[in-house]
Amino acid sequence: MIDDTLVSEELKNICFSCDLSQCRGDCCVEGDAGAPLEEEEISILEDYLSEIKPYMAREGLEVVEKNGVFDYDVDGEYVTPLVNDRECAFVYFENGISYCAIEKAWLEGKIDFQKPVSCHLYPVRLSKLKHHTAVNYDRWDICKTALLKGKQDKLPLYKYLKTPLIRKFGTTWYQKLVQAFENDENP
């Protein structure tokens, strides 16, 4: 328990490091719904859409122009729209690898929003509970090579995701998480 979050021990016990050369960014292409969006991210995407559009694939651009920057999943939660019920509308492809057009606009200095926090946190997913937020590792075969690379690099998931965890929960929260995990290792 860190503040009002329940953090899975898997963030400490699982080693992880994305390996785009192996997985090809398939987490942005496979799945049954788009990436979860926070309500305030919808207006950010709407505000920055003209700066993001030049980096989008034609199919994704058509979906966003027709339906907007968000959709709903089966639980009625906000998600990014999909192209052909498969890939995120904000995906573009380069040398067979999937990349995020939102992040590309950020990297190019066109916008000050990197990408939806759920994408930045992946493979961690957040779940709203009655009084808490659950912070859990999301197992997916697509990420098998990231598990291998993480073990090789000896990089626990909570350290791999330091920047997005701080982005979502703050520096103080992250320091508490590190302290809790490190105290577990040194009783």
pLDDT digits (tens, 9 = 90+) for 121-170: 999 999 888 899 999 999 888 889 999 999 999 999 999 999 999 999 99
- pLDDT range class, residue 22, cuts 50, 70, 90: confident
Residue 61 and residue 39 share a domain: yes
Residue 30 and residue 12 share a domain: no
Task: Answer with the one of 120, 138, 164 that is the final residue of a domain.
Answer: 120
- The pTM of the full predicted model, rounded to 2 decimals, is 0.89
Mean pLDDT computed over every residue of the chain: 93
Residue 160 and residue 109 share a domain: no
In this prediction, residues 28-49 reach a mean pLDDT of 92
In this prediction, residues 102-118 reach a mean pLDDT of 96
Please state, as a whole number, how many other Cβ atoms lie within 10 Å of the Cβ of residue 177: 22
Residue 152 and residue 66 share a domain: no
Total tally of structural domains belonging to the chain: 2
Phi-psi region of 85 (alpha: psi -120 to 50; beta: other; left: phi over 0): left
In this prediction, residues 33-58 reach a mean pLDDT of 96
Q: Domain of 174?
A: 1-16+123-187
pLDDT of residue 187: 46
Q: What is the DSSP letter of 92?
A: E
184 versus 156: which is more confidently predicted? 156
Please state, as a whole number, how many other Cβ atoms lie within 10 Å of the Cβ of residue 28: 23
Q: How far are the Cα atoms of 123, 147, 151 from residue 42, in angstroms, in the given order? A: 21, 31, 36
